[in-house]
Amino acid sequence: MNWQNKNILVTGAGGFIGSHLTEHLVELGANVKAFVRYNSRNDWGLLELLPREKLDEIEVIRGDLKDGDAIRQAMEGVDIVFHLGSLIAIPYSYVHPRETIETNILGALNVLTAANEYGVEKLVHTSTSEVYGTARYVPIDENHPLQGQSPYSASKIGADKIAESFYRSFELPVAIIRPFNTYGPRQSARAVIPTIITQALTEDKIFLGSLHPTRDYTYVKDVANGFIKVAESPKSVGEVINIGSNFEISIGDLTEKTISLIGKNVEIVTESARTRPPKSEVERLWCDNTKAKKILGWEPTMSLDEGLKEITNWISEHINLYKPELYNR
């Protein structure tokens, strides 16, 4: 696909993956509208960390995913939509399930409705590996059962199914991308890897939840490239495609690996406040990325060791952006 002069809308552009995807689209020469949540501070989220010359190329639109009129206005003249906007924190969804469900499900409906109304060329809808819940078999392929083990995962299952329904009911060219655990520069301390790194760099103890669950980690630039390849491939329409490394590691082993990389003697402490309810904990995630390789020609290029070095260096240079002493839900 020639991205030159393509008109693109990225919802959730101020978020972690969204900011990297937006930056990559600018590098490809696309005309990008970045939809970010309105706030009175005129704060554009992680887009603020992009180089000024790239930020100047982006049209930032402020609004709320739950506002159908705002989405409709942003959608006008758009060729391709990347819908990443959502409330993504699992602990936050325990505290505020209604906000999580309304934002993620109604927001997806508003984006899909506007995209259908304007007849966009392609809509890439963002799912999450959390919809699978604890693995019933590994590696997890796209046919694995969906399990709502948290209000967040349930909201994403609902949004995914609405996206599927728009493909089947209205022939809207929707593709569903399902990233596993993404990490890299700009990630907030809501996620486990920045939580480990920020505490290891600044404290003598690392406070975490359960250490035994396994996760499948993929570097953010590889994930952003996965989004691009999903948009480019005509074979992705109507499909769900996992994006992951096909490798699992426990949170405990990940912590030890990170501490070793930093080279500091730090105590690991399990804290009950950071532990998920037993029936809500996703015990094991391990991605089968066969479909992504076959349909997209995609596979990760960054190893976990290399990626951990990259994010550790970035956080070391931006430690002022974090509050290691606080539990970030």
For each of the chain's 329 residues, which pLDDT tens digit applies? 899 989 999 999 999 999 999 999 999 999 999 999 998 888 899 999 999 999 999 999 999 999 999 999 999 999 999 999 999 989 999 999 999 999 999 999 999 999 999 999 999 999 999 999 999 999 999 999 999 999 999 999 999 999 999 999 999 999 999 999 999 999 998 899 999 999 999 999 999 999 999 999 999 999 999 999 999 999 999 999 999 999 999 999 999 999 999 999 999 999 988 999 989 999 999 999 999 999 999 999 999 999 999 999 999 999 999 987 777 65
The conformation of residue 105, written as its DSSP 8-state character, comes to I
Separation between Cα atoms, residue 189 and residue 199, nearest integer Å: 10
Q: Minimal CA–CA distance to 189: which of 17, 63, 326?
A: 326
Residues 163 and 184: their CA atoms lie apart, in Å, by 28
The per-residue pLDDT for 329 is 59
Q: What's the CATH code of the domain at 73?
A: 3.40.50.720
Q: Which residue segment(s) compose the domain that 129 sits in?
A: 7-187+218-247+283-301
pLDDT of residue 82: 98
Longest dimension (CA), the chain: 57
CB-CB contact of 206 with 270 (8 Å)? no
> Facing residues of 207 across strands?
269
- In this structure, are residues 244 and 274 in contact, taking their beta carbons and an 8 Å threshold? no
Give a yes or no: residue 169 inside a domain.
Answer: yes
At 42 the pLDDT is 85
Domain-located, residue 289: yes
Q: What is the DSSP string of 229-275?
A: HHHH-GGGTT-EEEE--S--EEHHHHHHHHHHHHT---EEEE-GGGS
Is residue 308 situated within a structural domain? Answer: no
| Cβ–Cβ < 8 Å for 105, 159 | yes
Domain tally, the chain: 1
Residue 258 lies in a domain: no
Is residue 41 assigned to a domain? yes
Scan for tokens 């690991």, then name that residue. Answer: 268
pTM for this prediction:
0.96
For residue 325, the model assigns a pLDDT of 74
The reply to whether 277 falls in a domain is no
